[in-house]
Structure 1
Amino acid sequence: MTTMDSETDSIGLVADDEATRLLAAYEAGSSFLFSAPHGVLLARGVSAIVPKTQCAREELPRRVADFLNSATEFGRRNPMVVGAVPFGESLPAHLVLPDEVVRAAPLNVVVSQPPRNGAPDCSVRPVPAPAEYERGVSRVLRRLEVGELSKVVLARSLELTAAEPIDVRGVLRNLALADPASYTFAVDLPRHGEDGTRDSFGAPPPLRRTFLGASPELLVSRRGMRVRSNPMAGSRPRSTDPVEDQRRAAELSTSDKDHREHAAVVDAVVQALRPFCRDLQVPAPSVISTAAMWHLATEITGELRDPATSSLELADALHPTPAVCGTPLQRARDVIAETEPFERGYYAGMVGWCDAAGDGEWVVAIRCADIEDDSMRLYAGAGIVAGSDPADELAETSAKFRTALSAMGLDQAV
């Protein structure tokens, strides 16, 4: 295996048969994994943590640029940060400079059914209860009717408690191999009650909490002057019956309600990218699939106006999109805070990496779980617009939970 020299940060390329070895080499508490359709990135160790100051999050790109410049002065060649940015501003971003980074070609092994033997004995508590979630959707619909806003993404969560510590590596492996076309990620986080803050280079405090998932949605990537975003909104659960599955895909492709929801997200992404890009290409949406869902997606591409614009600056301008929040943005944030009986934390935030040259890739943190010892919290949301039905939105969140539940070998009605 070719590794990155920890003194120079030169990234080695790994043969395509090494992708599953990188996945197996992941260790919770000391690694960051990012598996994308075009390749796998494994970052090991922590040389430093981006200082967590009280400045507004829109200053994050500048802080990270200054941090990477400092790392360059310490002898690093094109260093990068990896990590997660939360949905809201009640938590700081958690971004670190790894000791080394290894890359591989994409995973090309698909395991449609994760191992069922040894599935953990778990208690499951939905928050809120399904009936209360439907009532929350109904309350949001009434606010839409009077014109307060046009869309709200309302989420619910599942709190799982196992009889023993959860096998983080096993869950990550099952997520990645079930759908290599998704963006599978795992980020070490400070335990609840620990902030992990450190202002200088040196050994970090231990991190024993993991945020992981298999997101279908690319927020933004930057490679040289090329920019790409793939917003998604509008969805249907998959069916095990091939005929019914295709019927659902066809229904989604012609649904006025879903196309209106999708268009609002695409318009917001285009407006956010336009100041940074020229020659934006915005094709008609297409219907794409994951193991659990059909989605409407639009692949937007463009060219940067200024080579100094980093991937993190682009991601910060886009986040959060209406696909995970709503429109208008601040009003939707307020309704989410009033309606959801939990803090989103890093759910619906963004996960990825950015290097000193500005290249990087950030995905929307959905289809995800927050794992700490024997407990795990899952999250799933649905976009509420005029014409939404509370029972349908509940069913959509249940289908989205299947991604993480299947990775644990669980098959529970939620």
Structure 2
Amino acid sequence: MTESPTVPQALAAQLLESYEAGSSFFFASPKRTLLARGTFATVPHAGGTNALERLPERVAAVLNDAREAAHDIPVAVGAVPFDGSVPAQLVVPMTLQRAGPLVFDSAAPVHRAPAARYTVRPVPEPAAYIDGVTRALELMRSGPLRKVVLSRSLHLSTPTPIDLRQLLRNLAQRNSTGYTFAVDLPPQATAPGAGRRTLIGASPELLVSRSGMQVLANPLAGSAPRSADPREDQARAAALLASPKDLHEHAVVIDAVAEAMRPFCKRLEVPAGPSLVNTATMWHLSSRITGELADPSISSLMLALALHPTPAVCGYPTELAHAAIDTIEPFDRGFYTGTVGWCDANGDGQWAVTIRCAEADERTLRLFAGAGIVAGSKPESELAETEAKFRTMLQAMGLGQGAEVQP
């Protein structure tokens, strides 16, 4: 493969229009758009209980083999799951095209599919999720657990095929400041005969990026739903920035991310306090942590796995939070709250946190949303936060309160 040169920003939309589910990887960040097609090589899965162990070494070996086979400027693209018991899905593509950021006409309408086409089934039910938050708060009162992120899923089905390219286009148009992605996944082993699956979403959160010796992490923790009323929306933003509960939640995440990055950096700059960022549906507390690597052999994937999972998607301490998630959540997260992105043979790359996403096949989608539970959390408020986070995917699908809910 010879990588296509970076094309002008105006052509980024052509990469989006060229996306084809089942044969493409798409990743758009605020500064670049990437489309990879075909599979030259697949990163092999490791045996044992931790499929992520030594993953950077396996990726480096595959990239080296690709380079020796005259596959110019090899890059690995794909997704890493939340749990190490699930294999990562990383491939070296046949072709790779890059462009500048996607730019949309702000006046252009977002395509909306008829809401009545879908039925929706929550897992767990809202009342069960509230019970789970209550259990988590009891664990915090009785032990050293400081934070746990509990998530919910929505199972949607439709009698007609899902237009994933249109869904991806809607996500990109509505979330231009985040990370829009679509990744091919293998069929479910537990569903014989099942077709292709696609991990699709629009994450607001950068896990880590590396460019040369410069690294950046941008964790988000502490959230509030947006309001359609401008005055109320600004009031919610101000309240979030002053909230002791949310500032505590954010500090737990920032401390853990900085601690994980320090061994790799000869310089690390951590903001004294968070700033506000927003998506179409949420306000978030944000901190941009920058650093300079001490060793050029440290790849973006190595950094991503050192940070993963952050307290923003798991909790703190990590092992206790992970155990609480396993006990309370009634489903496997799969690639949700993992990381999605790319890493090249030089170690440069970009990895986003896999949130505001769904796993889709031809006629079904499984959406995910979570909330960080800390001392002082109110179960009903955490449920409302997950409902607000679902809106990123639901609005891109043209769904709102009119969706038909399956009994």
2:137 equivalent in structure 1: 141
Q: Which residues of structure 1 form unaligned runs of 5+?
A: 1-5, 196-205
2:397 equivalent in structure 1: 408
- Size of the aligned set, in residue pairs, is 397
Question: Which of 233, 237, 247 in structure 1 is aligned with 2:235?
Answer: 247
2:118 equivalent in structure 1: 122
Shift of 1:148: 3.5
Q: CA 1:193/1:110 → structure 2, altered by over 3 Å: closer, same or farther?
A: farther
Q: Distance in 2 between matches of 1:48 and 1:118?
A: 39
1:59 equivalent in structure 2: 54
1:329 correspondence with 2:318: yes
What is the CA deviation profile of residues 347-398 of structure 1, one whole-angstrom value per residue up to 9, with x for unaligned ones?
0000000000000000100000000110100000000000000000000000
Whether contact under 8 Å (1:276, 1:309) holds in the other structure is: yes
2:361 equivalent in structure 1: 372
1:303 correspondence with 2:292: yes
What is the CA deviation profile of residues 8-43 of structure 1, one whole-angstrom value per residue up to 9, with x for unaligned ones?
x33411111111111111000000000000010000
Give the RMSD, CA atoms, in angstroms: 1.6
Question: Which of 172, 181, 188 in structure 1 is aligned with 2:184?
Answer: 188
SS in structure 1 opposite 2:47? coil
Q: Bigger CA drift: 104-113 or 159-168?
A: 104-113
Question: Which of 156, 163, 166 in structure 1 is aligned with 2:159?
Answer: 163
1:215 equivalent in structure 2: 203
Tell me the TM-score normalized by structure 1.
0.93
2:380 equivalent in structure 1: 391
Q: Distance in 1 between matches of 2:75 and 2:233?
A: 41
Whether contact under 8 Å (2:46, 2:53) holds in the other structure is: no
2:268 equivalent in structure 1: 280
Shift of 1:163: 1.3
Q: Distance in 2 between matches of 1:330 and 1:11?
A: 43
Shift of 1:116: 2.6
* Residues 260-279 of structure 1: pairs in structure 2 closer than 5 A: 260-279=248-267
1:25 correspondence with 2:18: yes
Q: Distance in 2 between matches of 1:384 and 1:113?
A: 36
Shift of 1:114: 2.4
Q: Bigger CA drift: 56-65 or 292-301?
A: 56-65
Whether contact under 8 Å (1:188, 1:207) holds in the other structure is: no
Whether contact under 8 Å (1:110, 1:180) holds in the other structure is: no
SS in structure 1 opposite 2:73? coil
Shift of 1:117: 4.9
The amino acid that maps onto 2:260 is A
* Residues 49-128 of structure 1: pairs in structure 2 closer than 5 A: 49-54=42-47, 56=50, 57-109=52-104, 114-119=110-115, 121-128=117-124
The amino acid that maps onto 2:345 is A
The amino acid that maps onto 1:61 is P
The amino acid that maps onto 2:32 is G
Q: CA 1:215/1:226 → structure 2, altered by over 3 Å: closer, same or farther?
A: same
Tell me the TM-score normalized by structure 2.
0.95
Question: Which of 2, 5, 16 in structure 1 is aligned with 2:9?
Answer: 16
Q: Which residues of structure 2 form unaligned runs of 5+?
A: none
The amino acid that maps onto 1:53 is A
1:360 correspondence with 2:349: yes
SS in structure 2 opposite 1:388? coil
The amino acid that maps onto 1:319 is H
Q: Bigger CA drift: 14-23 or 29-38?
A: 14-23
Whether contact under 8 Å (1:120, 1:162) holds in the other structure is: no
1:293 correspondence with 2:282: yes
1:200 equivalent in structure 2: none
Whether contact under 8 Å (2:3, 2:97) holds in the other structure is: no
Q: Distance in 1 between matches of 2:324 and 2:103?
A: 42
1:199 equivalent in structure 2: none
Q: CA 1:68/1:143 → structure 2, altered by over 3 Å: closer, same or farther?
A: same
Q: Distance in 2 between matches of 1:194 and 1:208?
A: 13
SS in structure 2 opposite 1:274? helix
Which structure 1 residue ranges, 4+ long, deviate > 3 Å from structure 2?
110-113, 117-120
Shift of 1:261: 0.4
Q: CA 1:243/1:134 → structure 2, altered by over 3 Å: closer, same or farther?
A: same
SS in structure 2 opposite 1:354? strand
Q: Distance in 1 between matches of 2:112 and 2:21?
A: 22
Q: Distance in 1 between matches of 2:195 and 2:345?
A: 25
Shift of 1:78: 2.4
